[in-house]
């Protein structure tokens, strides 16, 4: 059975309203403390999500895509920044050693 967009939105809205009413009913129950459940309403979807987040690393399978993502998002930017920093410092040091920059114009001085 294929639903149109309007029917899908209508059903989703009805489902949301039903869940909202159930939450309000459970959270505003004055006798809730007698059941021993405490002050929070149990949410099955939230508990499934939290369990998935905890066991994510146990089910992780390294692939080429995850390797590329880690390489381009973490390793490569750090390596490029380190290379640019070293090249800039070596160039500045070369200017200092050849006397192109006077001591009084240097950024970092001992005196």
Same domain, 54 and 96: no
Same domain, 51 and 29: yes
Same domain, 52 and 25: yes
- State the total domains in the chain: 2
Same domain, 52 and 70: no
User: For residue 77, is it within any domain?
Assistant: yes
pLDDT tens, 14-51? 999 999 998 888 888 877 776 776 667 788 888 999 99
pLDDT tens, 56-104? 888 889 999 999 999 999 999 999 999 999 999 999 999 999 999 998 8
pLDDT tens, 4-23? 999 999 999 999 999 999 88
Q: Helix and strand tally (H, E) in the chain?
A: 4, 0
| pLDDT score for 109 | 76
The domain of 94 spans 61-100
Our CA dihedral for 39, 45, 47, 51, rounded to 10 degrees, sits at -170
- Residue 94 is encoded by which pair of tokens? 């070369």
Identify the CA nearest to 95 among candidates 85, 84, 105: 105
The alpha carbon of 17 is separated from its chain's Cα centroid by a whole number of angstroms, namely: 30
């Amino acid at each position: 059975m294929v639903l149109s967009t309007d029917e899908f939105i209508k059903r989703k809205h009805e489902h949301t309203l039903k869940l909202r009413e159930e939450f309000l009913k459970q959270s505003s129950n004055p006798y809730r403390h007698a059941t021993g459940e405490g002050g929070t309403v149990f949410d099955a979807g939230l508990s499934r999500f939290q369990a998935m987040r905890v066991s994510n690393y146990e089910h992780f399978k390294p692939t080429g895509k995850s390797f590329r993502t880690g390489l381009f998002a973490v390793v490569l930017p750090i390596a490029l920044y380190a290379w640019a920093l070293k090249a800039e410092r070596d160039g500045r040091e070369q200017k200092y050693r050849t006397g192109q920059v006077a001591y009084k114009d240097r950024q970092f001085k001992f005196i």
